[in-house]
Amino acid sequence: MPKTIEHLFANNKQWSEHMREEDPEFFSRLVKQQSPEYLWIGCSDSRVPANQVVGLAPGEVFVHRNIANVIVHTDLNALSVIHYAVDVLRVKHILIVGHYGCGGVKAAINDVSTGLTDNWLRHIQDVRDRHLDQLGQIEDSAMRADRLCELNAMHQVVNVCQTSILREAWQRGQDVSVHGWCYSLQDGLVRDLGVTSRSREEAMDRYAEISASSC
Q: DSSP code of 198?
A: S
Q: State pTM to two decimals.
A: 0.93
Would you state the pLDDT for residue 153?
A: 98
Contacts of 64 (CB under 8 A, 6+ apart): 39, 40, 41, 42, 77, 78, 81, 82
Local structure of 191: helix, strand or coil: strand
Catalytic residue among 102, 149, 161, 182: 102
99 is catalytic: yes
Would you state the pLDDT for residue 215?
A: 52
Distances (CA, A) of 179 to 32, 96, 172, 202, 206: 29, 6, 20, 12, 11
Distance between first and last Cα of the chain: 50
Q: Determine the Cα–Cα distance for residues 59 and 137; give it in Å rounded to an integer.
A: 43
Residue 10 confidence class, pLDDT cut points 50, 70, 90: very high
102 is catalytic: yes
> What is the Cα 95 distance to its own chain's centre?
6
122 is catalytic: no
Would you state the pLDDT for residue 57?
A: 87
Instruction: Give the start-to-end residue ranges of the domains of the chain.
Output: 1-32, 36-211
Catalytic residue among 18, 20, 29, 47: 47
Residue 30 confidence class, pLDDT cut points 50, 70, 90: confident
Catalytic residue among 18, 20, 29, 45: 45
Range 36-211 classified under CATH 3.60.15.10: no
Residue 1 confidence class, pLDDT cut points 50, 70, 90: very low
123 is catalytic: no
Give one DSSP letter per residue of 32-77, joined into a string: H----SEEEEEE--TT--HHHHTT--TTSEEEEEETTS---TT-HH
The answer, yes or no, to whether residue 135 has pLDDT greater than 90, is yes
Q: Determine the Cα–Cα distance for residues 145 and 42; give it in Å rounded to an integer.
A: 17
Radius of gyration of the chain, Cα coordinates, nearest whole angstrom: 19
Catalytic residue among 43, 149, 161, 182: 43
Would you state the pLDDT for residue 145?
A: 97
45 is catalytic: yes
